Structure 1
């Protein structure tokens, strides 16, 4: 199973909790390594922690920006599809029976399936069957329209009907594309990796500067006290 498929099947709050625990564990591991380094008097100061945190923040900002943009696009696609279905339904209401009732019946079923589309995960097995049923509804509506055009019924509505039907099918495809357009697996892996590295580096080098400052202060005070004793 692809990595992104496994990610999409887990709730967001569970992912956040797991990532938080992993970062705590990485930070704790960093503090343990720092404690060992202190015992060996390896209190070197470094900018690795700052660089890793900055890189993690940059990657996190780009990831949230991309996710927010995709989310807004999906909302726009769904709104466009709802408007297209409404326009097509309004146009078909001016047809004569029995085609008007037939298309209305197909549209009712089509709308129910499109509403169910938002409740099913994109990687779920039901999604493929749901999409296939929507395509089948579109084909039924197209066959009814073909009969209307062939029999030259309501000839003044032929162009609006075709435009409305094309708009409905096009927005359907755009909504499906928007749901499948997720952040790539590579970005997710990099985000998790740099998050753990940043937590580890923070634990490893977070107290180095403070410890160095404290050591320098103690040494300076000892020298001052030594000079004071010499003067006395």
Structure 2
């Protein structure tokens, strides 16, 4: 295990376990944190995830009888639909069955635990080092922070009592699996496609701040700043 992987893993766990304390104790306001994170996330989707998904599709084996030249995009769609379905069921349960609110909160937590595991697996199985490790560390770390804060706002008591530990366990499981259980490139591409679709939904639904919670200059700073850094890294390091 490289030093970069250890630092990334510790950073992700720290963010996941203490995200709300980090946000509330920061000199930067909560709205600014949410807006900056949302800006980075939107940039990450359009400037990194979608081009990477396109590249993975181009390199995906095309020698089967069922070749569609869009398999990974379909898997990405499935990822988005599954997470949207879970979120929609949880929202409906909260509106219609108040007594079942806790049950659906834990279903969401379980799904996000799997979500964290798959993201962590992709990061650590890819063997990131140096500049790429820093790039992923910032973008994915802010994403984990935003999701944690959103789940905390839904049910702070349950989240603090056990939810954050489930999400952190997902990171640990993905970290260990990524280091010890490498998979063939085409399987990694399949996992990446599925989790990319889920991430697109999560970013658009949970990270884009609502109008009353938006600090637009900070949102713009996060979005344009992350885009500029990503394009510069692609230009100088041929990502």
> Which TM-score bucket, shorter chain as reference?
under 0.3
TM-score (norm 2): 0.26
TM-score (norm 1): 0.26
